[in-house]
Amino acid sequence: MSAELTAAAPAAERIGPILALLHAAYPDARCALDHRNALELLVATILSAQCTDERVNKVTPALFARYPDARAFAEADRAELEEMIHSTGFYRNKAKNIQEACARIVEVYDGQVPATMDDLLSLAGVARKTANVVLGTAYHMADGIVVDTHVKRLAQRLGLSTQNDPDKIERDLQAITPREEWIDLSHLLIFHGRRVCDARKPNCPGCVIRHLCPAAQA
């Protein structure tokens, strides 16, 4: 079917073939943040704001060894925590959010990261993107679609959304993507964005979905 479609076809018709081709190209697509549980993923995702996943992954092994649970983070010395996460940028605000989120996790959720959107959004430093990361990757719950800078860029280039606001892009993607693909869609677009569809120099000749991409035809 993908061979018959063109980039001019409606997004709802192209999304299936796009997903199939990206699944074949990136069978190892997954969350790039190293973690062993929902709390580690939550903290790593907070740290990843305005920072590369690679940098976060260099910081978190020592961080998680020093603070193994939510109570340890909540009761940490703020200056020490800031020093450990300094290289991720915006470290003061991130340390504050991590401590406040973990304090609420201890006080309200018995030390366990909650598994609903509303509860996650009640935590400091957590907006829809972070909540979707935790729900999808840690709890395998497709409550929404993660829209980071890669997903935003590719959604626009592929003509899957004309919006700029991440929440509106998420709604556009949800409307055309089968719910069982919501989690994988983000992983696949992020992998493709990093390896092929670069922000400045997209490798259109080496792209497996170029025939389905309006930007590649421009």
Using CA atoms, how far apart are residues 6 and 28, in angstroms rounded to an integer? 27
Q: Copy the structure tokens of residue 104.
A: 């609420």
CB atoms within 10 A of CB 125: 20
User: Which of these is catalytic: 53, 94, 129, 143?
Assistant: 129
d(CA 103, CA 199): 38
Per the annotation, the verdict on 129 as an active-site residue is: yes
Closest CA to 126 of 38, 34, 31: 38
CA 49 to chain CA mean position, Å:
10
Catalytic residue among 53, 94, 143, 148, which?
Answer: 148
Active site residue 148: yes
76 CB-near residues (< 8 Å, 6+ apart):
66, 67, 99
Query: Cβ atoms within 10 A of the Cβ of 62, count?
Result: 10
Q: Taking the CA atoms of the chain, what radius of gyration do you get in angstroms?
A: 19
Catalytic residues: 129, 148
